[in-house]
Each structure stands twice: as C-alpha cells, then as structure tokens.
A = this chain, B = another copy of it.
Amino acid sequence: MKIDDDKRSGRKHRAILQAATATFVNKGYDGTSMEDIATKAGVSKQTVYKHFADKKQLFAEIVLATTSHVDQVVDLVAKSLNDTQNLNEDLAALARRFVTELMDVELLQIRRLVLANADRMPELGRKWYANGFERVLAGLATHFQKLAERDLLHFEDPLLAANHFVGMLLWIPVNEAMFTGNIPPRSKASLDHLANAAVRAFLAAYGGPSRPSAKARR
C-alpha cells in the first residue's frame, strides 16, 4: 500500500504542477490563487498545500524545473560534439535543437513571468539566471573547449565563445517573443534559418584550420 500511496502522491504532485503552470501563464502570478490551481488540478486546496507550502514555492518549483530541463537537453546534444567528424553539421544540429527547445511556447511564457516578477522575487530571477543561463553557457563552453583541444575551434576564452554562439542564435527570436508575445510563433524553417546562419558566423569567427592567435585578436 505504501508504494501505491507514493505513486498516487507523485501523480497528484505532477497534476498540481501542470495545473499551476497553465494557470500562472494564463492569469499571471498575481491573478492566480491556490484555489484556482486546486480546481484546475481536480484536487482539494488542502492537497495543494500538502504538496507546496505556498504559491511562491509552487511558482519557484515550476521555474527551476524548466531551467534544469533546458540544461539536460543542451548537455545531451552537446556531448555529440565531442567525437564529431563533421563540426559544421553537428554544430548546426545542436543549434537547431537548442533554438527549438528555447522557443517552446510554455518556456517563453514562464520566462516572461520570471522577468515580470524579478523585482519582488529577486532570488528567483537570480536562480533562473544562474541555473538556466549561466549553467547552459558553462556547459557549452566545456564542450567547445574539448573541440579547441582537437584544434577544431580557436579562442582565448571558451565562455565568451559560448556567449557569442548563444547570442547570435537567440537575440532576435527570444526578444521578439518577449516583446510581441510570440504571436504567431516563428516557423521551424525560420528558426532553422537563424540557427544555420549563427553557426556559419560562429565557425567563420572561431572555426577553421589553426592560425596565429594574432588573427583572432585583430
């Protein structure tokens, strides 16, 4: 019976998280009550409180879950770079996958909620930045560094190179989505085009055969 209880409790936990995500996205943080979330999840308000101390903690769990998901995806795909035989192709595949993940409608909506509430929940904004942004960049930098050791990439600072890769890839679509609500969302073809262009520019800047470091500094 204990195992059944755990299973049921896990299912409820996930149902509450899903219901809360949908409600926060639709009504904003202020417009959402624990009551709304319980109704949407089909559980009692007490059950919600049994799983989450308060609205703020529930919101934080949703936000931080998205950052760890993105992190996993990047790590998984970036690992494929380690023994690449065709950097151009594999980096382009990574870029296309990365931009598709990042442009997920729900993820963008949660990102906007974090930004909108960063004033009153500065801890959460900082955690999202550290666990999302900085960790993804650090992960990419580690993989780029391995490519540099194979003489496939050339830079002085792997983190700066990772920053340039992500900045070229995401500056336009993410900001467009933040300010205009991503309506209608960009097509897969349009995102692929941005990804391929970013990889071309990145490899023109940091790829190619070995060359004197003076060139990179010019």
Q: Are A125 and B205 in contact (CB under 8 A)?
A: no
Given contact pairs A167-B171, A204-B206, A205-B205, enumerate 4 new A-B contacts (beta carbons under 8 Å): A112-B119, A114-B179, A118-B180, A164-B198
State how many residues of chain A have any CB contact under 8 Å with chain B.
46
Quick check: is A62 within 8 A (CB to CB) of the other chain? Answer: no
Quick check: is A28 within 8 A (CB to CB) of the other chain? Answer: yes
Residue in chain B with minimal CB distance to A126 = B180
Q: Are A118 and B198 in contact (CB under 8 A)?
A: no
The secondary structure that dominates the A interface is helix
In Å, the complex CA distance between A170 and B170 comes to 11
A202 to chain B, nearest CB (A): 7
Quick check: is A128 within 8 A (CB to CB) of the other chain? Answer: yes
Quick check: is A201 within 8 A (CB to CB) of the other chain? Answer: yes
